[in-house]
Structure 1
Amino acid sequence: MFHESGQYHPDKEGIAGTSVEDLNERIIDAYFERNFHKPKDAFGLTLDKLYKNIGFVNDKGEVTLAGMLFFGNHPEWKLPQFIVKAVAFVGNELGGTKYRDSRDLEGTLPEVFDMAMNFCENNLHHVQAGQSFNSIGKLEVSRIALEELIQNALVHRLYIIDAPVRLLIFDNRVEIISPGCLPNNMTVEQIELGNSYPRNPLIANFCAKTMVYRGLGSGILRATNEGARIEFINDEVNDKFTAIIYRDERKVSTEEDKVQISTDKVQKTGFKVQISIDKVRNLKNKVQVFVQSTQAITERKRQILETTMILISAKPSMTLQDLAKQMGVSLRSAKEYVDTLQKANLIVREGSKKVGSWHIAEDIN
């Protein structure tokens, strides 16, 4: 009752048994540099006082819920209930026994958000949508709608319920399910008009300063204005809120589907192969694991490395010159991508430069 009336905010509450030792100084330093353009010791305050003023810790020196979720070392250790459960099902039924991908997304909220978007990237289709054949392609559903709805689930969920956010991908839809129905007697019609209620103001504040979140109640408007078919279900009986983005089932792959790699340049050299959807997902997952272990890989380069892995897996005998042609890049760039994958132990070269071949590392007996 206090929470719904706005007199109590769980994101400002301290987590028992925690202290500043549970905070990640690297993340905090980056936060200060990004938002204040100066280090934290330039404020002339003790760390305890500074961290309390910002909301990292409470009066007792305990890390707040918001502080742990954004700046904690392994927040899932202290708050295992606030991860994201992500599953990509085969078919359209929640009770289905087959799935394409299943993961528990753990880490700080910005990390979980990035992992959730990567999960969608890996399990939804990319379409040409007027782009050149050599492009990575455009996500089949609105990326902006996904970003807004996933962030809304993380920011506005009810944190007094010990349950994870669920990200479920079916053949005909994507469901994002948040614990807690709409607060303060709000309705779906009201949020579709841009009305909002700050259920977790400290989390919303940190989110606006660390992610692509903008707040102000405009997220739902941006999502619906993207032309996506979206449905909102405010379930007061089961105390949960569901956002559904509908897919075009005609574009959904079955387990027998194949990905064909073929471009104008490829056809001139007779290079035309097929590689299974499952293999593509496996290769992308390998690159994603590598990217998560380093801070030096941009989103664009991650996509390029995935494409490189797919091409090499499809035709192990291709030379660097072949690879450069297929990707429409310089020989120097192709070598850079291959070198990165080799150093990450994702691919290996067997034989000479002219007659040798590439192989995915774990496929070698």
Structure 2
Amino acid sequence: MHIVVATDFSPLKTLPKVLSHLNFLSEQQITNSALLAFGTNPQQYFPTAVVKCAHFHGLHVAKPIPDHRVIKGDVFTQVDEAIDFILSKIALAVGMRSHSNQAPLKYEIPRAVIAEAIVNAVAHRDYQSKGSVQLMLFANRVEISNPGALPPELTLYNLRNDHSSYPKNPHLAEVLYQAGYIERFGTGTGEILRLCKEAGLAEPVFDLGAGFKITIWRPEVIGKQFKKNGTDQVNDQVTDQVNELIQRLILITDQAYARQELMTILQLKHNPNFRDNYLNPAMQEGYLSMTLPHKPNSTHQKYQLTAKGQQLKIRLEREEE
């Protein structure tokens, strides 16, 4: 069983006490929420407890599909990997180091907006449903939906302001809150609206047509480049996603960094995604190298730009000026 224990629980010491504290034990048996939060394979008991992700070039569901995946594991893994899936596809601007040694980063949609929407979908979905959480990225928007409905105490209008919390899965929501994935109950949708407005994005749309869906709009210029004369067009120059992610890693690497430090700078949390799509390709292409190449698994391992990486970084920075 994989378990994430927040600092508040450390005095409890033993696993049964932690589970009891979270109301994850019933007559000495672990509950469904415990399986979803800490089980190594909760899909054995809840086959549809997954997040289905898909990326489309245009404005509608259509082939080709550049990337699609089904994210399994516990709810923490699902949330982390789903957030990183979106962040790896949307635009990232790396600013100048005028006020800090580390260049500021700005995703086209704030990470907090994506995270809040995905956490809400995973925490409040109907786990008895045969449907799954779905995340679809289009040229002009992100759609995040889940098989669930608003509680009778809430309306779509209520979601626009702070409101009392009526979680579908209260114990699951509580552990996500204790682990820091939820900041305050009842503020999620209001926070999404506020952050989108501050970022200059169009107001998100909430829909109860089939389950619960939120549409988060990408910057207008992103959508326009895929639309011409009222019809959807696929961009002739499809971005090489792996190459784009390597460039992001190169631009932020101004000294030797540990893997976790690089992930923190890029606002990523899912280790396998970072290794497979950012770190390993950058090293395989010769842009990044280990500081301790003979001790690849050392806890003191860091990563730095090679001469080839330095040259590419200079070129990339010149292009951004």
The two structures have a TM-score, normalised by structure 2, of: 0.70
Instruction: Return closer, same or farther for 1:281/1:100 CA change in 2, 3 Å cut-off.
Output: farther
Partner Cα distance (1:145, 1:50) in 2: 30
- Please point out which of 84, 93, 97 is paired with 1:118: 84
Deviation at 1:99, TM superposition (A): 1.4
Partner Cα distance (1:211, 1:164) in 2: 24
Deviation at 1:63, TM superposition (A): 2.5
Q: Deviations over 1:221-258 (max 9, x none)?
A: 1111112424333325x3x1111110125336865447
Partner Cα distance (2:207, 2:10) in 1: 41
Instruction: Return closer, same or farther for 1:152/1:230 CA change in 2, 3 Å cut-off.
Output: farther
1:172 paired residue number: 140
Q: Deviations over 1:80-122 (max 9, x none)?
A: 211000001110112x121121011111111111101110111
Partner Cα distance (2:168, 2:307) in 1: 62
The residue matched to 2:183 in structure 1 has which SS? coil
Say yes or no: does 1:145 pair with 2:113: yes
Q: Deviations over 1:16-57 (max 9, x none)?
A: xxxxxxx33xx2xx516x22232534xxxxx66764453223
1:40 paired residue number: 13
Instruction: Return closer, same or farther for 1:309/1:97 CA change in 2, 3 Å cut-off.
Output: closer
Aligned residue pair count = 265
Q: Which has the higher helix share?
A: 1
Partner Cα distance (2:53, 2:203) in 1: 19
Question: Greater relative contact order: 1 or 2 (C-alpha under 8 angstroms, separation 6 or more)?
Answer: 2
Q: Deviations over 1:168-219 (max 9, x none)?
A: 0000000000112211152111111122322221111111012331232111
The residue matched to 1:244 in structure 2 has which SS? strand
- Please point out which of 120, 124, 128 is paired with 1:156: 124
1:211 paired residue number: 180
- Please point out which of 184, 205, 215 is paired with 1:244: 215
Structure 1 stretch displaced more, 112-121 or 295-304: 295-304
Say yes or no: does 1:66 pair with 2:33: yes
Partner Cα distance (1:230, 1:109) in 2: 28
Partner Cα distance (1:277, 1:172) in 2: 19
The residue matched to 1:151 in structure 2 has which SS? helix
Instruction: Return closer, same or farther for 1:158/1:129 CA change in 2, 3 Å cut-off.
Output: farther
Alignment of 1:1-365 (within 5 A): 23-24=1-2, 27=3, 30-31=4-5, 34-41=7-14, 51-52=19-20, 54-59=22-27, 61-94=28-61, 96-128=62-94, 135=103, 137-184=105-152, 186-195=154-163, 196-226=165-195, 227=197, 228-235=201-208, 238=210, 240-251=211-222, 256-257=236-237, 277-280=240-243, 297-298=260-261, 299-300=263-264, 306=278, 309-310=281-282, 313=285, 316=286, 335-336=290-291, 339=293, 343=296
Determine if contact 1:125/1:251 at 8 Å carries over to the other structure. Answer: no
1:271 paired residue number: none
Partner Cα distance (1:241, 1:151) in 2: 13
Determine if contact 2:90/2:107 at 8 Å carries over to the other structure. Answer: yes
Q: Deviations over 1:316-358 (max 9, x none)?
A: 5x7xxxx7xxxxxxxxxx652x849x948xxxxxxxx999xxx
Larger Rg over CA atoms:
1
Partner Cα distance (1:146, 1:181) in 2: 20
The residue matched to 2:88 in structure 1 has which SS? helix
The two structures have a TM-score, normalised by structure 1, of: 0.62
Gap runs ≥5 in structure 2: 226-233, 248-257, 269-273, 298-305, 309-321
- Residue identity matched to 2:175: F
Deviation at 1:157, TM superposition (A): 1.5
Partner Cα distance (1:145, 1:49) in 2: 34
